[in-house]
Amino acid sequence: MVMEINQIAEYILQKLGDKLYDREHLYYIITKTGEIYQLGEYEDLIEGGSNISPAYIFVANLWFTYEPVLYYPFIGERGLLISIYLLKHYCRTHFADLKYVAISVHFTSTNETFMEVADSEVIERNTNLAKLVQMLNEVEDDDEDEKLEEKVDEFEQWFEAQTLFNGYNFRKAGEIIERYYKENDKALADDIEAIKYAYYNRVFQPYCVILSPGKG
């Protein structure tokens, strides 16, 4: 059954329900057949050789006092995107078909809570994540694990340096977002609009849904 991304968002809300209001950072896998697992549990089942359905949706459920960059969660949690892509590369049997990434953000100090859902293929294409696999494939089989770690570190630096947000890289875009919201720097309004446009229309193209505040 093919669903639009807004339908995927509603599906996630239905499947996870009150789990989204557990007041701690939790990561969930929703499989192709609709089962729900915490990430660690799912990885343990894979390691134990269980005949388990492949991952279809990755959900990060995150709680913060207040971090303005998380208004743009795929910028604020960019390291998570690399981790997910590594799962797809190293656990191909179970993560190769992972289709959607959702990040729900809860700000306890402001009672704001929302979730963004994006297509993993859109993320990979528009942020050049496939280059990570190319770099890892450069490491010979007989090389030590440290060289793989070096390649991942090298990729992370390259990834963050990409000027995907109206000429700004991830780090600079994050700094502008923090200054605009924390310091109320209105001089950055045009920069924020340009970053927002790139974020929603060119790079991640997420669907956003506001969650019910005050639960949990």
DSSP characters for 135-154?
A: HHHTS-TTS-HHHHHHHHHH
Q: Which pLDDT value is given to residue 142? A: 57
Does 216 map to a domain?
no
Number of domains in the chain: 1
CA trace torsion 195, 160, 129, 76 (10° rounding): -60
For a pLDDT cut of 70, what percent of the chain falls above it?
95
Q: Which pLDDT value is given to residue 135? A: 85
**Tokens at 195, concatenated:** 């970053």
DSSP assignment of 171-184, as one string?
HHHHHHHHHHHHS-
**Tokens at 81, concatenated:** 């995107």
Q: Could you give the C-alpha distances from 140 to 88, 131, 135, 184, in angstroms and in order?
A: 20, 17, 11, 50
DSSP state of 6: H
What are the tens digits of pLDDT across the range 95-114? 999 999 999 999 999 999 99
Q: Which pLDDT value is given to residue 175? A: 96
Mean pLDDT in residue range 75-91: 91
**Tokens at 205, concatenated:** 């193209």
* pTM for this entry: 0.92
Confidence of residue 170 (pLDDT cuts 50, 70, 90): very high
Confidence of residue 31 (pLDDT cuts 50, 70, 90): very high
Confidence of residue 144 (pLDDT cuts 50, 70, 90): low
8 A C-beta contact, residue 25 and residue 62: yes
For residue 198, pLDDT over 90 is answered with yes
Does 215 map to a domain?
no
Does 120 map to a domain?
yes
User: Could you tell me whether strands 100-107 and 112-119 are parallel, antiparallel, or unpaired per DSSP bridges?
Assistant: antiparallel
Closest CA to 202 of 167, 159, 158, 161: 167
Does 21 map to a domain?
yes
Element spanning 60, H or E: strand 55-64
Domain limits at 73?
Answer: 5-210
Q: Report helix angle 145-161 to 170-182, nearest 10.
A: 60
User: Could you tell me whether strands 36-38 and 55-64 are parallel, antiparallel, or unpaired per DSSP bridges?
Assistant: unpaired
Q: Which pLDDT value is given to residue 89? A: 81
Does 205 map to a domain?
yes
